Structure 1
Amino acid sequence: MKLKGIIGFFIFCLGSMTAQEKKWTLEECVYYAVENNLTIAQYELDLENAQIDKSDAIGDMLPNFNMNARISGNSGLVLDQSRNQQVSGTVTTASGGFGSSVNLFDGLRNIHRLNRAKLNALANQYRLDNLKDDIMLAVANAYLQVASNKESLKVFRAQYAVTEQDLTRTEELVAAGVVPKGDLLEIQATAANQEQQIVNGENQVLLARINLAQLLQITDYENFDIAEEDFNISPSNILEQSPKTIFNKALSFRNDIKFSMSNVELAMKDLQIAKGAAYPTLGAFFNYGTQYSSEFRNPATLERIPFTDQLYLTDGIAYGLQLNIPVFNGFSVKNNIKRAKIGVDRSRLQLEQDKLDLENNINQAYVDVKSFSKAYEAAQKTLDARRLAYNYSKERFEVGLMNAFDFSQAQSRVDNAEAELIRTKYDYIFRVKVLEFYFGLPITLD
């Protein structure tokens, strides 16, 4: 038993270490969010409800069948219902039966309700899938924000390491009398500022990790982290497609558009159901019943009739058809039809609005990709130029031809250029993923 306990404890510790050391990739985050998001779980329940509505619509087209039974006792002067006479004493009565009815015609509303229930289930599936699309984009954006902040933190630390070298070198120059002590104080101020940048960068990484973990419904923020993936910009062919081509393809698979189209079909079914209320309804029914009384007697002998015999003597059936013709119902039918027509028009307008929004989003995403591509290229050129200028300034500073303030300004321009490069890099990566997503490509880093 001790050996099993030791093995179990070892497995538990190993599992805990594995969980703590797990690094999440972008694909893992996206699919985990889809499987564990609370809003998605709520939408899935709505989908289950819609499927139950379909079962209700099928049941409304089938005959119903119900049974009933009743027993009672009365004392004093009571009515014996079996003989329809007043008697004195205690009378026990019982009755029972069953019945069935079916709706033969109700203006085809039962068929339209069934078709509507099927459409509603499909619409809820589109709504659920559209939510998953939105969450995947949100997770991708949050994931890249973590990666961007972590890369910025690496740059801050690398910059601080260089400044420490400059600080050591400046101390030597001050000791040798090459540069004044004020230059040393300037470098020390730069180092202190970079230390503050590192602290702020660490906080930004933590906040970004918490934001991503919350999207994944993960509460262990301390042990949650993303994988060290390669986020170098890879070539994309998405700009070879025109915005119109991307839009036309998006119309064929985007779940928000499918959801809007299904809402139009639902509104049309509601209109058909409203119009069906203006037609006559025809139903059929069948009922069987029997009864028993403790005072039910044979008229000739005045003897009580046994229970079983009474059931056969008092039973009966009823059957027939029932026709209802709507004539006037306070304009309710007419007004419901008008409301249903307005619902159709509203859903069609919403569909056109959703198409317009999708086209605008795609055009904006297309422009963003081109803009951030140029911005990234410009930021890269700027950084290269700033680094050359910094190296030149460093050489002048070390020989006493530049003061510490101007040297720190040159270094600050390099820092700003590196920060701008990181920002434009991840903005460009995310915009490319968004545009590719509109074109039907999965969210990956390939």
Structure 2
Amino acid sequence: MKKSIIIALLLFGFLMQGQNKKWTLKECVEYALENNISVKQSELNVQLTDVEKLTAVGGFLPTISAGGSVSKNTGLSFDPTTGNTSTTTFLSASGNVNIGYNLFDGLRNIRQVQRAEISKLAANYNLSKMKDDISLFVANGYIQVILGKANLEVLISQNNVTLEQIERTNKLVEAGALPRGDLLEIQATDASEKQAIVNAENTIQISLISLAQLLLIKDYENFNIEDEGYDIVDEGISGKSVTEIIESAKANRSEIKIAEQNVALAEKDVQLANGSYWPTLRAFLGYDTRYTDGNTIPFNEQIYLNDGIGYGLSLNIPILNGFSVRGNVQRNKINLERSKFQLEQEELNLESTVYQAYVDAKGALKSFEAANIALESQELAYDYAKDRYDVGLTNAFDFSQSKLRFDNANIELNRAKYDYIFKLKVLELYFGIPATELKF
């Protein structure tokens, strides 16, 4: 009985630990990369390239086939073992083995293997890009939850101040030092703040559900994140020029590497198409034998006496094929030019995107600095209004307005802070820092 109680307590402890778990950003990103459907689909595409390479390598192996037949003949029939015709019933059987090997096929086998290797590189770059995209989605969703929680803390903190003011004002109203209208004004402020708190809690819950859905976590009610210890961490990216970041992005980003591999694939396709102009040379070897029960010779001897071997070379020279080879070559050359243009376009798109991210990060920093200054000013104004209200030099309405401006300044600072954090991390990602190594 005692042992059962201990086991039950341990299970309960593990359950409660799972329910109280708070996910860090790194844990969320790693979990998403392991479980996200889009990432899994990209991983399957990588596996398909392994199949493509296996098939290409198989082109270097000989082809081997075997066949056989059994038949029973009644009436006037031809005996394949004696060469005679007879009116009787007999059983006949035959078997064969054929081996073929491509000695030369216009180098297409070699180029198929090379193409498969390039295709795998492209698939791996696509997988890397997908992981970067998912990591950014997760980071953005995570930051939205942190922002919501930070705003909720501001609202709760300021509402506590309001509750203290209600208690103090109520005493002053009962003592006749302040009119009842001041108390009603602060109570109205309290009601508005409590409504804002409820809205903030709902926003947090919605953000948590959205993040859980992105991670494919179904236990929405117990899902929560670690909301402490996140601040602005600049790994030196803000001190780099936009040109330096763009050059690093071109060297590291998957978008460019994917486009480069697509050009390489298109070039290989042109080579494969040109290979069809070349003759093909194939070696072959065949063995066959036969048996009939109408022959008096034993089975083993028939198999030996009736066998035959054929071998030789087969040469196929393309002369006229309705311009199908020429058309295929031209088609692949056009695709090659298209892929080159696409590479050029991707480089231009990346330059534009990185430049926009650079401007956004700089703008977000200025907005954060301005929000800091605004908060300092609003805090001084709020303290001044509070002191005046405490000695009866201002009314409750003016004080509540000053407090509202101070609350909004706090919320705006939170928004500007986390907006800058996210845009700074986007810039670091373009610079080449892996998503799982981004620091907050």
TM-score scaled by structure 2?
A: 0.94
Look up the match of 2:8.
9
Partner of 2:44: 45
Could you tell me whether the CA contact under 8 Å between 1:173 and 1:398 is conserved in 2?
A: no
Maintained 8 Å contact 2:155/2:193: yes
Cα pair 2:252 2:431 within 8 Å, conserved: no
1:355 matched to 2:355? The reply is: no
Q: Which moved more, 1:389-398 or 1:91-100?
A: 389-398
Q: Does 1:187 align with 2:186?
A: yes
1:101 partner SS: strand
Following TM superposition, by how much is the alpha carbon of 1:317 offset from its aligned partner in structure 2, in angstroms? 1.0
Q: Which residue of 2 aligns with 1:377?
A: 369
Distance in 1 (alpha carbons) for counterparts of 2:438 and 2:49: 33
1:126 equivalent in structure 2: 125
The reply to whether residue 313 of structure 1 matches residue 305 of structure 2 is yes
For residue 301 of structure 1, what is the aligned residue in structure 2?
A: none
What pairs with 1:247-266 in structure 2 (closer than 5 Å)?
A: 247-266=246-265
Cα distance in structure 2, aligned partners of 1:68 and 1:360: 63
Looking at structure 2, the residues matched to 84 and 164 of structure 1 have their Cα atoms a distance apart, in angstroms, of 115
166-175 vs 59-68, which moves further? 166-175
2:439 equivalent among 418, 437, 445: 445
Does structure 1 residue 339 correspond to structure 2 residue 339? no
- For 1:171-205, what per-residue CA distance to the aligned partner results, in whole angstroms no more than 9, with x for missing partners? 22322333332232222221111111111111111
Seen in structure 2, the aligned counterparts of structure 1 residues 79 and 177 have a Cα distance that, compared at 3 Å, is farther
Deviates more, 1:78-87 or 1:134-143: 78-87
Structure 2 residue 401 is matched with structure 1 residue 409: yes
What are the superposed Cα offsets for residues 216-236 of structure 1, whole Å, 9 maximum, x if unpaired?
Answer: 222112222111322233454
Displacement, 1:245?
A: 0.7
- For 1:218-259, what per-residue CA distance to the aligned partner results, in whole angstroms no more than 9, with x for missing partners? 211222211132223345421221111111122222222212
- The one-letter amino acid of 1:12's match is L
Aligned to 2:228, the other structure's residue is in SS state coil
Which residue among 425, 436, 446 is the counterpart of 2:417? Answer: 425
Equivalence for 1:20: 19
**Cα deviations across residues 4-51 of structure 1 (Å, max 9, x unaligned)?**
655543443232222122221122222222122222122112111101
1:149 and 1:204 in contact (8 A); partners too = yes
Aligned to 1:300: none
C-alpha distance in 2 between matches for 1:80 and 1:349: 69
The answer to whether the aligner puts 1:280 opposite 2:272 as a matched pair is no
Identify the residue that residue 324 of structure 1 maps to in structure 2: 316
CA distance in 2, matches of 1:31, 1:99: 53
Q: CA deviation at 1:81?
A: 3.5
Matches of 1:55 and 1:207 in 2, distance apart? 47
Q: Does 1:71 align with 2:65?
A: no
**TM-fit CA distance, 1:75:** 3.4
Count matched residues: 438
Contact 2:149 2:227 in 1 (8 A): no
Task: Spell out, residue by residue over 1:267-303, the C-alpha distance to the aligned partner (whole angstroms, 9 max, x if none).
Answer: 110111011111111111110000111223xxxxxxx
Cα distance, 1:5–1:290 mapped onto 2, change above 3 Å: farther
Whether the aligned pair in 2 keeps the contact of 1:26 and 1:444 (CA below 8 Å) is no
Amino acid paired to 1:150:
K
- The Cα of 1:86 is off from its aligned counterpart by 4.7
State how far apart, in whole Å, the 1-side matches of 2:351 and 2:230 are: 29
Please report how far the alpha carbon of residue 394 of structure 1 lies from its aligned counterpart in structure 2 after TM superposition. Answer: 2.5
Output the TM-score relative to the length of structure 1: 0.93
Equivalent-residue separation in structure 1 for 2:338 and 2:175 (angstroms): 82
Label 1:7 to 1:121 Cα distance change in 2 as closer, same or farther (>3 A).
Answer: farther
Q: In 2, Cα distance between the equivalents of 1:143 and 1:89?
A: 88
Q: Distance in 2 between matches of 1:65 and 1:221?
A: 58
1:98 aligns to what?
97
Q: Which one-letter code corresponds to 1:113 in the other structure?
A: Q
Contact persistence 2:234–2:424 (CA under 8 A): no
Change (3 A) 1:346 1:398: same
Shift of 1:429: 0.6
Unaligned runs of 5+ in 1: 297-303
Q: Which moved more, 1:426-435 or 1:79-88?
A: 79-88
